[in-house]
Structure 1
Amino acid sequence: MPTPDLQAAQQKARIRLAADIGGTFTDVVLETPLRRHSCKVLTTPRQPELAVLEGLDRLLQESGLDGSAIEVFIHGTTLATNALIERKGARTAFVTTEGFRDVLAMGYEKRFDAYDINLEGPPELVPRPWRLTVRERIAADGKVLMDLHEEDVRAAGAQMRDGHIEAVAIGFMHAWAHPSHEERAHHILASILGPQVSICLSSQVCPEIREYERFSTTVANAYVRPLMGSYLLRLQESIRQKGLLCPLLMMMSGGGLTTLDLAARFPIRLVESGPAGGAILAAHLARECGLDKVMAFDMGGTTAKICLINDGQPERSRRFEVGRVWKNLKGSGLPVRIPVIELVEIGAGGGSIGRVDAMQRITVGPDSCGSEPGPACYGRGGEQPAVTDANLVLGRIDPEHFAAGRMPLDAALSKQALTALIGKPLGMDAFWAAAGISEMVEENMANAARVHAIERGQDLGNFTMVAFGGAAPLHAGRLAQKLGITRVMVPAGAGVGSAIGFLRAPVAFEVVRSDLSDLSKMDPLVVEARLQAMHAEALAVVQTASAGAALHVLRLAELRYAGQGHELRVRLPPPSEGPIVQASLVALVEGFETAYEQIYGLRIPDCDVEVVTWSVTVSTQTQAAQAIALPPSIQQRQASSTRPVWEPALGEQRPFGLHWRFDLQTQEHITGPALVAEDETTTVIPAGWVARLDEQGHLMMEAPA
């Protein structure tokens, strides 16, 4: 029998806090052994920590806990992403090898839209006057072709000091393999500029080939590091004042957690931390419920995210573009090479603005009114109609109980904005303007999902949709109808899904090294030594925050046929199966050619296979839950009341039954059309669909047979 002290210690070890800062709302979740507490608070863009603290205070009061009882605090934020998109980072300079000053402007040297004569790329983070060059050159094989001219570095440092530069990115040719010149330049510049200026090296931020992407990633990291460092220190100090003495871990874009120190050094790894949390939640649910194919649909106040999950694992990549500036076209954003969960993100959220374009069509987004001023119905000065305004006018949202009743909405303001900016130009009333906004935002999301699936050779009709985020359950049923999906899960706590996902994420860190070599000529002992060194580097990071948890090691190689420009990722055997030997390299080649044939339909005989990059990820173990067999339905719930709501599939208003989610009993069946409300969102059940609450508390909706 555990002693009271042991019981208290065990309870403390299970009390965890998570906060996800979005463009409109900040979601805060407090999980205890007995209950999960959650809330949504309007984001405070100028001081993001204020919304986190407001949510924390609210949940501590609700739970009756003291801040010192919390064992760990996990945090994700859009601060770095927004700084890059809005170009509100530090005053940054870039120091590079002489002759490569304009790499950042030249990019890939190709147009992302071949037929647009007015094409403009994304604005550069560093203007040309602050792209400075120094004389130095190291060849790819490590031979020093030109010594580092230290007087050039000193001159650049003096120029940056006089120009009040706040951050510096250093990127030299071939520094991914031979960083000595970068390290020496760092030493010189640090002595001139002092500790108040942040300096980032490409050999530390992105030690991989391809100069443009390496330089772009390093510059982006330097650009946001002062902002993120300052914010994280403020947040840490603020939670300490609230009595939280626990570790503060940060969610990364690749789906793992890292320490505050690492996050402050490499904030570029946080750019997709919120969406990554949602994907982690959906993957956890897929394993828990035995779903082999899941489409995660996360719709918040600013954006909608779609991620495909197969066999309980989200797709991952090492390439990502921040802030695409033209029709979401690939190549129109700022490229960064970081571990990231593969997803599509579009400007379609509750705050996305509806308007009439030059061709008299209703369009929605990609811009959002955010939390300041927010949609018109918030009553905070917003005058443009947003998706939330449309949902309110269409009857889907109860204005008195929005955000657990803490933010009553004003439907009159919604109608006024819809009439003025959409209704009058098109000769329709506010209701039909709202219906147009709803239909357009759902079609935008459906198109994005179709393209994302087609690019991966997937048929969405075989997938179960998992819908979460404050706005997703409002649109999930209609989106499923458009995509041919017949089953939708709205998990418990859907309104704060990404923050809950943070609590399911492993502590993880990935180390990557480029090493362009012919695989057939590599020495297995050299490969093993490199992988062990990378493993030790990742392990040192993870052990600081894993509290002795069991660890998992994932080793990958990026391979290609010699002469090609792109690679495929292939798994290596784990360290537990023994060291790398010649047979391991032969199996690696076979794994690559099998994957190549699956994707491209052929193999290329007698063509050498070369390795481009090695990757080692160390993470805490994720436990896969067993699927639970569900008993048959035993009762049918009848709505206690109804209200008229727009039913888009029928093109008319219908009386929708009204239900409160926490009144439902396990395995009760609800037949649509109906609304199931909860504190942080509302689920719309389309006409003819049937919903039930499963054993885990998830709301399952199914289309009629």
Structure 2
Amino acid sequence: MYTLGMDIGGTFTDFTLVDRESGSVTIDKEPTTPANPAEGALTGARRILDENDVSFDDLDTVIHGTTLVSNTLIEGTGATTGLLTTEGIRDTLQLRRGSRYDMFDWEMEYPDPLVPRQRRLELDERLTDDGEVVEPLDEEEVRERTRTLVEDHGVDSVAVSLLHSYESDTHERAAAEVIEDEYPDLNVSLSADVVPVIREYERTSTTVINAYVAPVVADYLEFLGSELQSEGFAGEVYMMTSSGGIVDVQTAKAEPIRLVESGPAAGVLASRIFGENHGNDDVFSFDMGGTTAKGSVVEDGDIRMKYETDVARVHRFKEGSGYDLVSPLIDLTEIGAGGGSIASVNDVGLVEVGPESAGSDPGPICYNQGGEEPTVTDASLLLGYLDPENFYGGRMELAAERTESIFAETLADPLDLSVTEAAWRVFEVVNENMATAFRRYAASRGIDTRGLSMTALGGAGPSHAFRVARKLDIDEVVCPYGAGVGSSIGLTEAPRMYEASSTSQAVLASLTAEDFRRQFDALRDEAAAVLERAGIDPDETEASLSLDMRHVDQGHEIKVPLEGRAIDDVTPDVAREAFERTYQETFNRETLEFPVEVLTYRLELAEADRTAETAQIAVPEGGSDEPNGRDVYFGPEDGTIATDVYRWDGLEAGQTIDGPVVVEADQTTVVADPDSSVSVADNYDITIEL
């Protein structure tokens, strides 16, 4: 049987087809169709199956990564949403935290709330922070408020976020029953289901985001599932989550916030696996596609996680300027720097690149599909990195003359440069933008990029990696065979996994082993139910436990892993020891002589005994082909150099080539400068030594 991974990006949709009996892997790309991304995904799926004599009924698993959630938020195309909340906190979404994401911007902006004030209605109910009822819920009031939202405001989805529902969900559950009785088809998101954790604003914001995107995701998945079934597919569809695992469609529809970074997460997962294949446990993951570039760090084989972020930012590079979201995510940074990023000359005569992108429609100038603005891909063509006659496996002939003409008019002439010099300036600006973002990301987490091995993925990653790596003082870049579709490879290797969490705030000294057991058992039951829907026997899973802890009265907590501990092993002493160790590692100082408290319990459940080795992508047997040659520009110091150009599948395992060199594949291109060398591994991965 076969597994198909498909990852929809802003410019291309990537495919990986795995024959699980033979272990062979086939890869491909298809231009993304922005109006309906599922159409491009289905077109590419049909082609890769047809070319490999595989039918849809031979597939038993489709694993899907998508930018649908983030795009819906950025474009503001979600459902008309209402909010039911406790009396007195109607304006939580507007007030936010009251903090400033930029202390020096007196005209600071935030995005407008996804639910305007007239669709935020209050309920006269109240719980204490221990979950005790102060004011009971009036079910008739819930019914009246819901009617107002539906009949007067035309909402398609309702978020319910009541005060202290993380301690007791009774009022939210009762409200949901009333809503379902009145409007059975209305989408409802409860904070007790979506994010049952402390902090009213973040919990409400996350629940509203979930309600806003849920109908869009549900419609999309139903359309995709229907189209697949019409082609003869009778297997299971799984969705990649932001935390690096996959879940069933039912879970994805109920909790679409878990999909907000699904594609980028798959790329980091692939980088870890490729790093392990090369004996590298410390890896910088660099994934550059047509619209964005992503960076993340794998340390000692572990992928960094975070639990808060903001999405659809007003200022893309300013953390905190978007909608706040609480959900388990792989810790990465993402910037608007891709092959389609648009270059221009600003008011002071400097080149700017991105974050706006030409995407796949109309795309870069060289695609000859109506694009009129110069992009990074156009610059790469003019520098000699891309072959105009053999791009995208020869399926797309690049319009070199048109690209050169528009580049001269819009960039080179205003800057008084040659076209080649202008193209290099665009190339260097986008590389510096990425390197700067990656430096900030690493520095803010106390990471030194020197000594790391970079894994370069994405259609554009391997052609930019040599410059980005030099700027980060990284001297080794691994470009895996199949790097151009790295995220879709990561999809096929992702474990079925789910993380459940809940808040129950208490001073550590007041807790018992039974308290820990009760909390973690409930989370395990929740996670096991999700994995069971995804076809995993709960007895064949492994649980990883952690606690969010802090000193009493501290403003922020830290995640404390309980490494190697089973649920029955957790005691107050075990938690205290783990907190002291994590506190020392985080702050480089001992804990304070002050009480410690537990806020949030977390349990990650994943299928057990899953190997971390990728199946081998098939490459032709035989010796090395003779290279072609073309002139390639490597900057003002080296100038234009006659450079050998190889086909990746024509290289020979064990081969070493001194730079400069260009290596081409159907999905990507590797570029190495004159001061580097390239070596080919037995599995045809390329390593650039800088």
TM-score range, shorter chain: over 0.9
Range that drifts further, 545-554 or 589-598: 545-554
- Partner secondary structure for residue 645 of structure 1: strand
1:433 aligns with 2:422: yes
Give the match for residue 400 of structure 1: 389
Give the match for residue 631 of structure 1: none
Give the match for residue 643 of structure 1: 630
Shift of 1:624: 5.5
CA distance in 2, matches of 1:645, 1:68: 46
Deviations 1:528-551 (A, max 9, x none): 122112112211211332455942
**Contact 1:206–1:337 (8 Å) recurs in 2:** yes
Give the match for residue 493 of structure 2: 504
Amino acid at match of 1:42: P
Matches within 5 A, 1:139-178: 139-162=128-151, 163-178=153-168
Residue 281 of structure 1: which of 256, 270, 279 is its match? 270
Deviations 1:447-475 (A, max 9, x none): 11111111122221110000010000010
1:663 aligns with 2:650: yes
**RMSD (Å) for aligned C-alpha atoms:** 1.9
Shift of 1:670: 1.1
**Contact 1:558–1:614 (8 Å) recurs in 2:** yes
1:615 aligns with 2:605: no
Range that drifts further, 40-49 or 200-209: 40-49
Shift of the 97–694 alpha-carbon distance from structure 1 to 2, 3 Å rule, reads same
1:554 aligns with 2:554: no
1:188 aligns with 2:178: yes
Shift of 1:391: 0.7
**Contact 2:627–2:647 (8 Å) recurs in 1:** no
**Contact 2:549–2:600 (8 Å) recurs in 1:** yes
Amino acid at match of 1:498: S
Give the match for residue 371 of structure 2: 382
Residue 569 of structure 1: which of 559, 565, 571 is its match? 559
CA distance in 1, matches of 2:636, 2:579: 46
CA distance in 1, matches of 2:200, 2:648: 53
Range that drifts further, 684-693 or 121-130: 121-130
Shift of the 622–671 alpha-carbon distance from structure 1 to 2, 3 Å rule, reads farther
CA distance in 2, matches of 1:545, 1:650: 56
Residue 524 of structure 1: which of 510, 513, 523 is its match? 513
Give the match for residue 312 of structure 2: 323
Shift of 1:172: 0.7
Amino acid at match of 1:322: V
CA distance in 2, matches of 1:332, 1:519: 35
CA distance in 2, matches of 1:315, 1:141: 32
Give the match for residue 27 of structure 1: 14
Give the match for residue 179 of structure 1: 169
Shift of the 640–143 alpha-carbon distance from structure 1 to 2, 3 Å rule, reads closer
Amino acid at match of 1:319: E
- Partner secondary structure for residue 667 of structure 1: coil
Shift of 1:44: 1.1
**Contact 2:412–2:422 (8 Å) recurs in 1:** yes
CA distance in 2, matches of 1:518, 1:446: 43
**How many residue pairs were aligned?**
679
Shift of 1:509: 0.7
Shift of the 639–451 alpha-carbon distance from structure 1 to 2, 3 Å rule, reads farther
Give the match for residue 18 of structure 1: 5
CA distance in 1, matches of 2:269, 2:84: 38
Shift of 1:189: 2.3
- Partner secondary structure for residue 502 of structure 2: strand
Give the match for residue 9 of structure 1: none
Give the match for residue 4 of structure 1: none
CA distance in 1, matches of 2:331, 2:586: 17
Amino acid at match of 1:645: V
CA distance in 2, matches of 1:612, 1:547: 30
1:294 aligns with 2:283: yes
CA distance in 1, matches of 2:184, 2:523: 31
CA distance in 2, matches of 1:301, 1:23: 6
**Contact 2:507–2:595 (8 Å) recurs in 1:** yes
Give the match for residue 237 of structure 2: 248
- Partner secondary structure for residue 196 of structure 2: coil
What are the ranges of 5 or more consecutive residues in structure 1 without an aligned counterpart? 1-11, 628-634
Amino acid at match of 2:644: G
**Contact 2:284–2:298 (8 Å) recurs in 1:** yes
Range that drifts further, 422-431 or 157-166: 422-431
Give the match for residue 593 of structure 1: 580
Shift of 1:122: 2.1
Deviations 1:418-474 (A, max 9, x none): 233323332334322211110000000111111111112222111000001000001
CA distance in 2, matches of 1:83, 1:218: 15
CA distance in 1, matches of 2:399, 2:609: 44
- Partner secondary structure for residue 450 of structure 2: helix
Matches within 5 A, 1:15-414: 15-32=2-19, 33=22, 35-162=24-151, 163-195=153-185, 197-326=186-315, 328-414=317-403
TM value normalised by structure 1: 0.93
**Contact 2:273–2:613 (8 Å) recurs in 1:** no
Deviations 1:580-620 (A, max 9, x none): 45xx3212212212221222232243211111100111101
CA distance in 2, matches of 1:651, 1:106: 55
CA distance in 2, matches of 1:510, 1:313: 16
CA distance in 1, matches of 2:609, 2:387: 38
Matches within 5 A, 1:622-633: 623=610
Shift of 1:623: 4.5
TM value normalised by structure 2: 0.95
CA distance in 1, matches of 2:167, 2:636: 58
Range that drifts further, 139-148 or 273-282: 139-148
- Partner secondary structure for residue 568 of structure 2: coil
1:605 aligns with 2:592: yes
Residue 467 of structure 1: which of 451, 456, 471 is its match? 456
Shift of 1:626: 8.9
CA distance in 2, matches of 1:547, 1:200: 26
**Contact 2:623–2:651 (8 Å) recurs in 1:** no
**Identical positions, percent:** 37
Deviations 1:79-104 (A, max 9, x none): 11100111111111111111111111
Shift of the 369–55 alpha-carbon distance from structure 1 to 2, 3 Å rule, reads same
Range that drifts further, 485-494 or 124-133: 124-133
